[in-house]
Amino acid sequence: MEKSLKIKSLGHAGFQITSENGRVIIIDPWLTENPLAPFKADEITKADFVLVTHDHFDHAADAAQILKATGSLLIGMPETVERIKQEGDLPDSQIVFGMGMNIGGTVVFDGISITMTQAFHSSQTASPTGYIIKLENGFTIYHAGDTGIFYSMKILGELYPIDLALLPIGGVFTMDPLQASLAAKLLGAKKVIPMHYKTFPILEQDTSAFEKIIKEESPGIEVVVLEPGNEVMM
């Protein structure tokens, strides 16, 4: 059977990445009480890593439950992982470096490197973050977390050539379509999956504006619209 990289939307800003070697990475899991959630948190029974960009409920609500169910490794800011550790009564062995990591840091496991980046937002504990994930085959994914646009996204793209960017487009709490389209250009991303829209009435309700701007300003970037529960192979 041919190996393939799979990206599944968990709704909102949550994703499940399955590498060609079968490693499963969960990012920002919020399924409980998420109106667009494709399934329940207890249906996630396999994960190797759980990445949390910040601890607002719509990004971290189900992290502890998934960690306990799967025995996976939690990656996040020290203060944020401490909160999730306490909520889930997790051992230090399930925390990256036993205490968390910080912006600029990189951890490597079984050929997968995960680098924590800055984000401009708020958080109940620590600082908000993003992640650059380089998989075993070199395919590189950037999850921006909740953020406004920042010019050093260009530097991130130069340091880590981005194959796929997961970018918020909803506005109000994050970048809107105009800012996100420029972010994709700054990053030099080959493909973009828009996220963090539609979930709440005050957010952007679809991807049409984002797709239009990308088509006009950056036609070389492919927009992949991924509905909650759907999966795409890369």
pLDDT tens profile 35-73: 999 999 999 999 999 999 999 999 999 999 999 999 999
Dihedral, CA of residue 120, residue 234, residue 29 and residue 54, to nearest 10: -20
Average pLDDT, the chain: 97
Which stretch of DSSP H or E encloses residue 163?
none
Q: Is residue 156 part of a domain?
A: yes
Q: Is the pLDDT of residue 196 over 80?
A: yes
What is the arithmetic mean of pLDDT over 177-187? 98
Please give the distance of CA 105 from its chain centroid, rounded to a whole number. 16
Q: Is residue 12 part of a domain?
A: yes
Residues 115 and 109: beta-carbon distance below 8 Å: no
Residues 6+ apart with CB under 8 A from 199: 11, 12, 34, 35, 36, 58, 170
Q: Is residue 164 part of a domain?
A: yes
Residues spanned by the domain of 154? 6-229
Q: Is the pLDDT of residue 2 over 60?
A: no
What is the arithmetic mean of pLDDT over 166-191? 98
Q: Where residue 1 falls among pLDDT bands split at 50, 70, 90? A: very low
Q: Is residue 234 part of a domain?
A: no
Give the C-alpha separation, 168 to 45, whole Å.
27
Q: Is residue 73 part of a domain?
A: yes
- CATH at 225: 3.60.15.10
- State pLDDT tens for residues 99-147: 999 999 999 998 999 999 999 999 999 999 999 999 999 999 999 999 9
Q: Based on the structure, what is the number of domains in the chain?
A: 1
- State pLDDT tens for residues 19-39: 999 999 999 999 999 999 999
Q: How far is CA 156 from CA 45, 180, 186, 193, 220, in A?
A: 33, 15, 9, 18, 19
Give the C-alpha separation, 187 to 169, whole Å.
15
**pTM of model > 0.95:** yes
Q: Is residue 1 part of a domain?
A: no
Rg (CA), the chain: 16
Please give the distance of CA 195 from its chain centroid, rounded to a whole number. 9
